[in-house]
Structure 1
Amino acid sequence: MNTLPGRAEGHLLGIVLVILSTLAFSLAGILTKAIAADTWTILTWRGLVGGLLIAAYAGWLGRRKPLSQRFRLGWRGWLLATVGSLSSIAFIAAFKQTYVANVALIYATAPFLAAALGWLVMRERVRQRTLAAALVSCLGIAVIFSGGLQVGSLTGDALALAMTFGSALYMVLIRKFADTPVVLAGGAAGLQLFAAGWLVVDPLAVSRHDALLLVLFGLAFAVAVVLWTEGTRRIPAAESGLLGCAETPFAALLAWWLLAELPPAASFLGGAVVLAAVLIHAGWDMRSGYVLRRQAKLRT
């Protein structure tokens, strides 16, 4: 009798944690635009602060393991970290060259691209509704790109698409390398960027204002990863995916509110198409999961 309230409280906590993580993730575009420093300086500081904090969290998760095993990645973990690092480079560079809303909207299609890569790499079956939603979202992206041709943000949009591809590949590799410590790989990716950035730029040549924002950026990234990890452990994957969609409107609204950034009409039109495809597909997944759980409950 006492388990049901506990489950309900855990589920509610999971929802709150995932929503808070989307808010933290949505700050990336705002902080990138607000920092005057170049892309590599941002990557260096974000990688150092975020990487150390995430690595510390990964160490806490594995606190019952021997110290020699707690931070062991293996070649699969380093491959994950490298893919994550390359995606982060495109991610930050995209914000510097296009609208925050465009990056967020293009990134919203990552689950569909992951489904296509899953079929190519692992021969995972792609559901018809996923294929239909992917085709609709591709139409929305084409509309967004058409707006980039008019306002000169085409390079940034292309970088956002490259980042989305890298993120989708990351998702597929996580499934393929199921025994790999994913959180630790995220911390290692940040430290990779710190090491590479230190060779490319002088990260100390920043203003005090930028330094504070850079530390805040790394902290926000680490907090977002921790909240998302803890939240997704408590709720079904379909529900987590649906709640994660909130990052897109959060990012666009924050850019409009704090930066007065108003994308062209094509971004609104294409974004509406992409969001509709993503939300309807996520709603289908969530409903299917609910039906399956109810059927299982009736059988028992």
Structure 2
Amino acid sequence: MTGIVLVALSAILFSVSGVLTKIIEADGWTIACWRGLIGGLAVIAYVEYRRGGTPRSLAFRLGLRGWILASVGSFASIAFIYAFKLTYVANVAVIYATAPFFAAGIAWLVMRENAKGRTLVAGALSLLGVVIIVSGGLGTGKLLGDLLAVAMTLGNAAYIVLIRKFADVPVVWAGGASALQHFVVGALIGTPLDVSSQDAALLILFGVAFAGAVILWTEGTRLIPSAQSALLGTVEIPCATLLAWVILSELPPIAAVIGGTVIMSAVLWHAAIDYRQEKQRV
């Protein structure tokens, strides 16, 4: 039960990202800088707390593969922030739900890992949903944001595959290093000291929510099957859409509703089968 609660809470915390990104008036790199600083420091504290008797030099060692993982995560995160700035929250949240299927495709290309039949079907349906959503952005000024959401999803899919390929890399610390990369680059490109007091408070909240979501997800996934974790992760999508509607009065366009329905049907169908099969094996 503890694992279920932790993963569900992490999904809820992740869901506030879209609303916070839109409310904050600062540019994307300034947001990345603040979130990177606060999130990075929080992850450092968490890794230090969790390392136990492991030497600090090992707990905080990444190596070349770890920095590659962190850099891929950094690309996905900045695309994530700008996607929310430039398109509807629901569009980004729903497109992101297809990441596991993109990951399956990348794993097949890179590692020649066979995908299950239902994964191929769900992936094809999800890709159709993405095409519907992106086509809805044509002529609306939202197309770039939708394309960035696709780029972010591909980046996260690559991140998922690299986690498996680089099994010896400390994933949480790689996430912390990614956050610190954003801090450094954001400080150079953005204007982190030129923000209003309201933005500063929201940026701190954003960083804390990000770090809390990562830590809760890490702890929760240790306690429950991966299929159950994936199913609970879908909580983020309706939460993000609801928050955008309540706080921003933002309703997704009809293309997002149709495409999102296709994607969510595929995701939930696939996750439900995985969960049922995993439960039968226990």
Interval of TM-score (by shorter of Structure 1 and Structure 2) = over 0.9
Q: Does the aligned pair in 2 maintain the 1:117–1:168 contact within 8 Å?
A: yes
2:214 is aligned to 225
Q: Would you say 1:160 and 2:149 are equivalent positions?
A: yes
1:74 is aligned to 63
- Superposed, which structure 2 residues align to 1:159-178 within 5 Å? 159-178=148-167
Displaced runs of 4 or more, over 6 A: none
Deviations 1:187-218 (CA, angstroms, capped at 9, x unpaired) = 00000010011111221000000000001000
- What is the alpha-carbon distance in structure 2 between the residues aligned to residue 64 and residue 220 of structure 1? 28
Q: Does the aligned pair in 2 maintain the 1:39–1:92 contact within 8 Å?
A: yes
Consecutive unaligned residues in structure 1, runs of 5 or more:
1-11, 294-300
Aligned residues: 282
Deviations 1:25-58 (CA, angstroms, capped at 9, x unpaired) = 0010010001000001000000000011012111
Consecutive unaligned residues in structure 2, runs of 5 or more:
none
Matched to 1:233, the amino acid is R
- What is the alpha-carbon distance in structure 1 between the residues aligned to residue 16 and residue 259 of structure 2? 22
Deviations 1:148-191 (CA, angstroms, capped at 9, x unpaired) = 11422110000000000000000000000111100000000000
- What is the alpha-carbon distance in structure 1 between the residues aligned to residue 186 and residue 230 of structure 2? 32
Matched to 2:280, the amino acid is V
- What is the alpha-carbon distance in structure 1 between the residues aligned to residue 83 and residue 128 of structure 2? 20
Deviations 1:255-292 (CA, angstroms, capped at 9, x unpaired) = 01111001211111110010000000000100111122
- What is the alpha-carbon distance in structure 1 between the residues aligned to residue 190 and residue 14 of structure 2? 25
1:48 is aligned to 37
Query: 2:279 pairs with 290, 293, 299, which one?
Result: 290
2:118 is aligned to 129
Larger Rg: 1
1:63 is aligned to 52
Deviations 1:111-130 (CA, angstroms, capped at 9, x unpaired) = 00000011111111111100
SS class of match (2:138)? helix
- What is the alpha-carbon distance in structure 2 between the residues aligned to residue 191 and residue 33 of structure 1? 22
- What is the alpha-carbon distance in structure 2 between the residues aligned to residue 281 and residue 237 of structure 1? 13
SS class of match (2:137)? helix
Matched to 2:55, the amino acid is P
Q: CA RMSD in A?
A: 0.8
Q: Would you say 1:207 and 2:199 are equivalent positions?
A: no
Which has the larger displacement, 155-164 or 260-269? 260-269
Q: Would you say 1:147 and 2:136 are equivalent positions?
A: yes
- What is the alpha-carbon distance in structure 2 between the residues aligned to residue 201 and residue 131 of structure 1? 41
Deviations 1:71-93 (CA, angstroms, capped at 9, x unpaired) = 11111111111000011110000
1:297 is aligned to none
Matched to 1:271, the amino acid is G
SS class of match (1:26)? helix
TM-score, normalization by structure 2: 0.98
Q: Does the aligned pair in 2 maintain the 1:117–1:172 contact within 8 Å?
A: yes
Q: Does the aligned pair in 1 maintain the 2:59–2:170 contact within 8 Å?
A: no
Q: Would you say 1:21 and 2:10 are equivalent positions?
A: yes
